[in-house]
Amino acid sequence: MPRIPLIEDLTARPVPAGSAFFVEYDPASQWYNALATIVTGWIKTGGNAEYYLTGQPPDDLRAQLRLLGLDVELLEKEDVLKIIDNYTVQLGQKSTEKYSYDSLKVADLSIQYARDFMRLAPKPDVLVVSDNFSNLARFNEEKAWVEYALTRAIPGRRSAKRTAIRGIMYGVHSDWVYKQLEGAVDGVVDFKLQEVGTKIKNFMRVRNMRNVGFDSEWHPLKIAENFEVTLEK
């Protein structure tokens, strides 16, 4: 099986295919760079990736992945890497990307889900990631988008044996939202910023895992010149 960098650096064994994770992150942390690192490592170890892009333009992500050593054009041509543009619609514009959504309203997402995802074949080599799942809250009532996550997004990928990692911002939702989402997934990971002496450092930890042993300590992160994120030794 392909490998999940950072997360599987802190687990006792590989996570089972079809596992679902939420990453709760400080908006100023290195989460976006960490997610690009995770996707790059997964692809380099033989996997395919579906990257649901909500927090940045597609070409910004492509530039980041090139810095990390991926031949983005070839990977997209072969559908090893699928970049799904959920960013452009938030600007009120029509996406020109191969894969995109025209709406982030739950009513529309549910229709597309029923059409495209209800009968997905099991593919444990596919990693599904979303950089900023919190943006659904901009276009939907709280209960509606959480219900979509609980009844569509999370179980749909799990039943298709596709491991999913979704980012959600700290401090922008109600306590009810965080508890509902945390209760529905197999693991919760945290990314934060912290002052250490006169510097600001990035840290991550695995807060909880249901299906594999894990190290729950906070670990400092190292950011390379190409923005690869690794655990600091």
Residue 2 lies in a domain: no
Kindly state whether residue 222 falls inside one of the protein's structural domains: yes
Please check whether residue 228 is in contact with residue 213, taking contact to mean a CB–CB distance below 8 angstroms.
no
Q: Which amino acid type is present at position 49?
A: A
> In this structure, is residue 93 part of a structural domain?
yes
Q: How many domains does the chain have?
A: 1
Q: Is residue 176 part of a domain?
A: yes
Is 8 within a domain? no
Nearest to 168 by CA among 71, 10, 55: 55
Position 186 pLDDT exceeds 70: yes
117 band by pLDDT with thresholds 50, 70 and 90: low
> For the chain, what percent of residues have pLDDT higher than 90?
91
Query: Of the given ranges (55-69, 151-165, 178-192), which has the lowest mean pLDDT?
Result: 151-165
Contact 113, 119 (CB under 8 A): no
For 123, the domain range is 20-231
52 lies in some domain? yes
Confirm if 104 and 89 have CB atoms less than 8 A apart: yes
- pLDDT (0 to 100) of residue 48: 98
The tally of CA atoms less than 13 A away on the side-chain side of residue 92 is 0
CATH of the domain at 160: 3.40.50.300
User: How far is residue 21's CA from residue 43's CA, in Å, rounded to a whole number?
Assistant: 18
Region 188-209 average pLDDT: 95
Convert the pLDDT of each residue in 146-180 to its tens digit.
999 999 999 989 999 999 999 999 999 999 999 99
Contact criterion met (CB below 8 Å) for 67 and 34: no
How far apart, in whole angstroms, are the C-alpha atoms of residue 8 and residue 12? 8
Model confidence band, residue 57 (pLDDT cutoffs 50, 70, 90): very high
Mean pLDDT, rounded, for 107-123 = 82
Task: Classify the C-alpha dihedral 97-79-169-233 as positive or negative.
Answer: negative
pTM, to two decimals? 0.96
Q: Residue 26 and residue 20: Cα distance in Å, rounded? A: 20
Q: How confident is the model at residue 100 (pLDDT cuts 50, 70, 90)?
A: very high
The answer to the question of residue 11 being in a domain is no
Q: Flag whether pLDDT at 118 surpasses 70.
A: no
Judge whether 3 lies within some domain. Answer: no
pLDDT of residue 161: 95
Q: Which residue has the tokens 């960013």?
A: 87
- Burial (CB < 10 A; 0-12, 13-18, 19+), residue 67, is middle
Q: Identify which of 112-116, 196-200, 223-227 has the greatest average pLDDT.
A: 223-227
**Looking at residues 175-190, what average pLDDT do you find?**
98
pLDDT, the chain, mean: 95
What band does 120 get if pLDDT is binned at 50, 70 and 90?
Answer: confident
